[in-house]
Amino acid sequence: MGKIVAIVGRPNVGKSTLFNRLTETRDAIIHQEAGVTRDRHYGKSHWNGKEFSVIDTGGYIIGSEDEFEEEIRKQVALAIEEADSILFLVDVKEGLTPMDEDVAEMLRRTDKKVILVANKVDNTQRANDHIEFYSLGLGEIYSISSINGSGTGELLDELVKNFDIEQDEEFEQDIPKIAVVGRPNVGKSSMINALIGQDRNIVTNISGTTRDSLHTRYNLFGFDFLIVDTAGIRKKGKVSEDVEFYSVMRSIRSIENSDVCILMLDASQGLESQDLNLFSLIQRNNKGVVIVVNKWDLIEKETNTSKEFEQKIRKKIAPFEDVPIIFTSVINKQRIFKVLEEAKRVYEARSQKISTSKLNEDILPIVKEENPPPSYKGKHIKIKYVMQLKTAYPQFVFYCNLPQYIRDPYKRYVENRMREIYDFRGVPITLYFREK
């Protein structure tokens, strides 16, 4: 299972810039004004073949210094409890501050791996400005410039040095692992209880290889799978947590340790930014997904209410909108087994292996005759053949003469046709175009 890395530090030291560099995105907003990061940002990164999740824990309350300090302490405490490794960012330009010392004091008490990172070493004149931070007592300091990338290679080498790929050898590999994720109070616990809360439904409770996560075996009515659940099970300790942040950190572990995710929404609130964050994480982790709109019994309905609601969701999650959406009332046990049926179908679709001969028989007529790639600057692109890679989720390689001239709209067209033919609804798939 992947590792979680939290970036912590006082406001305006460059946490969001480092987050963007590690995840190769521009998801986090960067601004000179302290406290701009109000929403949490979660992303995937990889280095030396090792993948890990990154969390930007920037303080988000705009107000007095006391408010900042309170919020930073809360976020650092959460990161200490939930993350596997912590990047503690300081600013050589501003120098050592009392708030840095407060954060360092908390980090010195943890047994998690803490790496002290001196940021904004943007030129040779600042090369030795990090020395004063040795007084924090956190060991070696890695000097970087998150804005131009200098020093980040050495930092990442140290970060992933002890990361390894953990296998769930304790469980049978062919049993689907299904995670129920979502924002607080959308009905996750009610869904799990409705499925396994009765004594007749619980077969075994197995302590998973992931620390303190729980895998509950469900084997009834023709279903056999493991429910991956971390939310609400682990002891929270004395942390006064930000519920949204805490929930998503838990969800990351559930997502990474699953095959299919049931993303639950509250019908009265619709698909909000936090839900999109989770959906994006599921997609980036290449997990199957079923969207469940819960508490549908509380919505006043007209003829096309569910259809319009569904269209709004698909518009927000585009371009990956080929996802099953089910409207439920868990409290009334409406369509709960429909959710299980769809999760099972998504698992089977994600696990399917298509022979090379079958692929070429189905796909080559489409890309050669029905709708070949458009010419580019007078050059004709010819796709020779296609094959599926031997990976945990569907990835396909198309061999052709000029892969560099195949544009994204055509790639989306091919993906959509493959989804129609092989029923990849709810399954992220990856297409590569390579020169033969």
Give the pLDDT score at 57.
74
pLDDT tens-digit readout, 286-333 = 999 999 999 998 888 777 788 999 999 999 999 899 999 999 998 888
Between vectors from CA 170 to CA 167 and to CA 171, what angle results, nearest 5°? Answer: 95
Sign of CA dihedral 206, 256, 273, 341: negative
Only one residue has tokens 């518009």, namely 315
Q: Which two tokens stand for residue 3?
A: 């590792």
Q: Which two tokens stand for residue 365?
A: 């007529």
CA 27 from chain centre, in angstroms, equals 13
Diameter of the chain measured on Cα atoms? 70
- Give dist(CA 55, CA 61) in Å, integer: 18
Count of Cβ atoms closer than 10 Å to residue 201 Cβ? 17
Selection from 31-35, 167-171, 223-227, 278-282 with the highest mean pLDDT: 278-282
Residue with more model confidence, 221 or 168:
221
Between vectors from CA 58 to CA 187 and to CA 40, what angle results, nearest 5°? Answer: 25
Between vectors from CA 116 to CA 115 and to CA 119, what angle results, nearest 5°? Answer: 125
pLDDT tens-digit readout, 100-159 = 888 888 888 888 899 999 999 988 878 888 999 999 999 999 999 988 888 999 999 999
Length of the chain: 436
In this prediction, what percent of the chain has a pLDDT beyond 70? 78
CA 287 from chain centre, in angstroms, equals 9
- The single-letter DSSP state of residue 375 is P
Residue with more model confidence, 214 or 343:
343
Contact criterion met (CB below 8 Å) for 347 and 226: no
Question: For residue 371, which of 411, 402, 322 has the smallest C-alpha distance?
Answer: 411
What integer is the mean pLDDT of 261-270?
Answer: 91
Give the pLDDT score at 288.
96
Q: Residues near 318 by Cβ (< 8 Å), separated by ≥ 6? A: none
- Give dist(CA 224, CA 226) in Å, integer: 7
- Give dist(CA 203, CA 280) in Å, integer: 33
pLDDT tens-digit readout, 368-413 = 999 999 988 888 999 999 999 998 899 999 999 999 999 999 999 9
Only one residue has tokens 């022979």, namely 355
Give the pLDDT score at 54.
86
- Give dist(CA 326, CA 169) in Å, integer: 32
| Average pLDDT value for the chain | 80
Give the pLDDT score at 75.
65
Give the pLDDT score at 378.
85
For residue 218, CA distances in Å to 182, 215, 290, 319, 339 come to 21, 9, 18, 33, 14
Contact criterion met (CB below 8 Å) for 273 and 63: no
In this prediction, what percent of the chain has a pLDDT beyond 90? 40
